Copies of this chain bind each other. A is one copy, B any other.
Amino acid sequence: MRDAQAADLATADLHGSLEDPALTSMNFLNEVTGRYPDALSFAPGRPVEQFFDVESVHRHLRTFSNHLSDELGYSEEEVRRTLCQYGRTKGIVHRLVARHVSRDEGIEVDPESVVVTVGCQEAIFLVLRALRADERDVLLSVSPVYVGLTGAARLVDMPVLPVSSGAAGIDLDDLAAQIRGARQRGERPRACYVMPDFANPSGASMDVATRRALLEVAEREDILLLEDNPYGLFHGGEGTLPTLKALDISRRVVYLGSFAKTVLPGARVGYAVADQRVTDAQGELGLFADQLSKIKSMVTVNTSPIAQAVVGGALLENDYSLDLANTREQETYRRNLRQVVDGLEARFGDCLGVAWNSPAGGFFVCVTVPFTVDDDLLELSARRHGVLWTPMCHFYSGSGGTNELRLSVSSLTGEQIEEGLDRLAALFAELGCIPAMKPMQAGGRAP
């Protein structure tokens, strides 16, 4: 042992992202979850597990192999090469992805505009890396926002300017004001990140008029829109609204897709649709997808063709429609969402200062409370009451969300939801949050 000369390090000498709240909060949340394995958890936005099936992974893989040989006429050698060797950086299921977004999202796009990525997270990272050219480049984002967006921006040292979400899913006046402010400071706003359908964490959705108005603002201000859509297919039964990308006629939108909730997280396959035209230094015209692909070649080389084949097989087996393939999951999430909202009403309907939204779909409900919600409270909730959730402050880059918590409805059973809400009620009661009628009956009117 020569520890005196050991090559040890301090985070102070490592990239600043490592002490950034976005990255450390993810770690904290995972760590709390790990420490209280028996707690009921409204925390993670994970898909329901009961329909997972390892045999279906094998079947998807065989379906895709058979597609290569039977429909595309690949020889056995070509099938082996496609699945086992290094492959096309932009992916091997791009044509299937293009058919899927056409079928389920009304997005018509050249398969060459599709970059298949290691989950949607890599797609986000690639786009931000490309757009952060120098220290002037900044990103706009609805606030509150998914931590993965904030973290990826931090990795490329790109500031994120928060735009109010409001009831409409985005406050367009605030968006315009933020862009103006940035330009006055000499910054270059490149894009605005949004999740128009059942957003994580707010649950908010944009109506069609807001979507169209957002596209107009983007065009007027000459910025891109980064549309992330992991939950769009989990609507409340009334179908989905058109995505921004489906409404986009001037290539303003980079569409970020995920198969984590619609096929399975274990494949780690997502994609970007990036049909913007890019002129290079030689004056040649290409696609933004090809620029993202160049970056991808230096991050992950290509997405595992085996993992892509699993997703490709699922697409083929369902005639490209993951909407139809997810009827059981849709029904589960819809029932859970209704049960959580009804359960909140039953328990807190009379509580002064306790409120929540009623999203039309997706995984998340936001609860506003008359006390401070932070990591200490989460710790106490886990230890004393055996229930986990997510403090909303983690989803605000600056201040905000200190009186809010996020409940994820996706991965609990009906019984667990009832028990979990009872435990939450016990926590709230401990913090003095009991039905409004009771204190009035006991102590009359406050001054």
Contacts and interface: CB of A to CB of B under 8 A. Distances in A.
Contact of A119 (B24, B121, B300): B300
Give the copy number. Answer: 2
Interface stretch (A53-61, A236-244, A401-409, A435-443): A53-61
Contacts of A9: 276-279, 288
Contacts of A17: 129, 294-295, 298
A24 B280 CA distance: 11
A384 interface: no
B7 A251 contact: yes
A382 interface: no
A121 B301 CA distance: 7
B250 A5 contact: yes
Interface stretch (A73-81, A173-181, A332-340, A418-426): A73-81
A143 interface: no
Given A155-B298, A276-B8, A300-B122, A65 B54 contact: yes
Interface string A184-213: 000000000000000000000000000000
B15 A133 contact: yes
A355 interface: no
A19 to B, nearest CB: 5
Contacts of A129: 15, 17, 155
8 contacts: A6-B250, A6-B251, A15-B130, A15-B131, A27-B294, A27-B297, A52-B83, A57-B83
Given A7-B276, A268-B304, 18 more contacts: A6-B252, A7-B222, A11-B281, A15-B133, A15-B295, A18-B280, A22-B298, A23-B297, A27-B294, A49-B84, A54-B61, A54-B65, A84-B265, A86-B266, A118-B118, A148-B301, A268-B300, A299-B299
